[in-house]
Amino acid sequence: LEEAAFQLQQIFRIDISIALNILGVESMRAGHCRAAFTCFQLAAERGYSKAQFNVGLCYEHGRGTARDLHKAGLYYCQAASSQHPMAQYRYARLLLQHGPGSPRDRQHKAVALLEQAAGAGITEAQAYLGVLYMRGLQPQEKRGLKYLLQAANSGDAQSRYHVGVCYEQGLGVQQNLAEALRHYRQSAAAGNGQARQRLQ
């Protein structure tokens, strides 16, 4: 009986968190940012990772509360530790741009988070990781190209452009101008201005 009561409490707690988060999303869509932030915060306090992510967004962009990148990072970190892929991506970016500690430590932790998010199919993480591997402290061109291709195949025109650059310059792959042109054309067709310039 005690176990059943505990299970019911857990279900009720989760359902309340989901309801608060949905209410927050609807409030944000209606332009009631402060009410949305309050709903997200209440659900986040109950450990709901989607709400923790939404509180992080509010703090990062100053919606419904004052902009505070430190607090955004704390909430993204909480959601990321619950395997929320978009929170892993956002937290990694904050770590790289504003995080404490040495650049090497921040990059190591951020790359691990980005790889988790990229593995979960987050196109933004794939693209960011691809560029990071191409231009990072210790470039790894083949790994960078792998992630850029993943993002490009998910429809990211900027990543498709970067793949073209890789083929044109032989970065992580054998130089192939015909393949570079193919990627530039696809990127340009998707509206990428850099690809159009490169084609000319």
C-alpha 130/C-alpha 113 separation (Å) is 14
C-alpha 55/C-alpha 75 separation (Å) is 7
Considering only CA atoms, which of 68, 64, 65, 88 is closest in space to residue 78?
88
Q: Kindly list the domain boundaries of the chain, sorted by start residue.
A: 1-114, 121-199
Question: 121-199, superfamily in CATH?
Answer: Tetratricopeptide repeat domain (1.25.40.10)
Residue 29 Rama label (left phi>0; alpha psi -120 to 50; beta): alpha
For 49-106, what is each residue's pLDDT tens digit? 999 999 999 999 999 999 999 999 999 999 999 999 999 999 999 998 887 777 778 8
For 109-151, what is each residue's pLDDT tens digit? 999 999 999 999 999 999 999 998 888 656 788 999 999 999 9
Using 50, 70 and 90 to split pLDDT, how confident is the model at 48? very high
C-alpha 143/C-alpha 185 separation (Å) is 23
Fold of the 1-114 domain: 1.25.40
